[in-house]
Amino acid sequence: MRSVLITGGAGFIGSAVARRLVGKGYRVVNVDKLTYAGNLASLRDVEDRENYRFVQADIADQGRIRALLEEEAIDGVMHLAAESHVDRSIDGPAAFVETNVVGTVALLSATLDYWRSLGGERREAFRFHHVSTDEVFGDLPLDSGIFVEDTPYAPSSPYSASKAASDHFVRAWHHTYGLPVVLSNCSNNYGPYHFPEKLIPLVTLNALEGKELPVYGKGENVRDWLLVDDHAAALELVLTRGAIGESYNVGGSQERTNLVVVETICDILDERRPLASGRGRRELIRFVTDRPGHDRRYAIDSSKIARELGWRHSVTFEEGLAKTIDWYLDNRWWWGPIRDGSYAGERLGAGA
């Protein structure tokens, strides 16, 4: 596989995948609509590389995507373009249906037409990799259970419902039309270049600036945390070595309550950048009204991708979180404009 088209490659996970694949010598064509969370600054390290191209386009523009696949002689599509913030999906679900469902169907249709035009080895080698989330599986009790690949879907939010629908359409294009697809469902990602409305970057930057740290409910909700660079490595394996028609769960096996995550961030920052007042940052924590339909717990079983493709996560959550916080401390150039100007007035949530 030489040439890969990545949708949503200016987003958090998409940019990590783009940086990884460009660095490994793939030809990467990055298609992104550049909505509020798309940020080309996340691709500064690869933007001038000969094997990288950015195209601002909407995945729902079927004609343009079809022409681009042909023009770039694409060998594989990695589909990450999605609206992905639960709070925003509660406030405005229609945009999530438009991008995550209608956009995915348009992308599938363009890709199917292109794949049918291929011949011989290129047709055999082609893959469409759909990247999804563990939230499609719904809610787990706090004290038992884990998501496996055949866990029944039970989405709770408009966001997870739209992703579940897109997963079903991808499988339908495989079973009905023969499009060679692979799928993956991941747990909560964290790491550098994470848009600061999500829990870890929001709390990190608020805590750095001595602002209040909003936590939903009592902070008891549990998430399985996965370093984004580990996820990018898994996605490359699924795209290039995954079995056609199969799905792979990718998790960090690092379950933490939201409150523990916030407290750990406070402790790391107190060590690295103590507040001038001498206060400990845990004093900044404020519990706020829980959001509607807030899932209690997510936990992923990654044994299939470990067994079949040899993937393992590389760091503990505490190690990865410390590295992530250090990145934010060293890279104000990236997050400063988001916090101070470009996104002024945007509603930032309180938790995962």
Q: Which residues carry out catalysis? A: 134-135, 159
Q: Minimal CA–CA distance to 195: which of 116, 290, 84, 298?
A: 84
Say whether 257 sits in a helix, a strand or coil: strand
Say whether 292 sits in a helix, a strand or coil: coil
Q: Minimal CA–CA distance to 123: which of 29, 244, 292?
A: 244
Give the number of other CB atoms < 10 A from CB of residue 188.
22
Amino acid at 192: P
Say whether 203 sits in a helix, a strand or coil: helix
E-strand spans in the chain?
3-7, 27-32, 52-56, 76-79, 127-133, 181-186, 188-190, 213-216, 222-227, 247-250, 255-257, 285-288
Write the DSSP string, 135-185. GGG----TTS--B-TTPPP---SHHHHHHHHHHHHHHHHHHHH---EEEEE
The neighbouring-strand residues paired with 190 are 227
Distance, in Å, from the CA atom of 269 to the CA atom of 253, rounded to the nearest integer, reads 24
DSSP code of 71?
A: H
CA distances for 256 relative to 142, 215, 260, 263, 305, angstroms: 11, 14, 6, 11, 22
Q: Which helix (H) or strand (E) holds 291?
A: none
Q: Are residues 28 and 6 in contact, defined by beta-carbon separation less than 8 angstroms?
A: yes
Which single residue is written with the structure tokens 């945007």? 346
The neighbouring-strand residues paired with 133 are 186
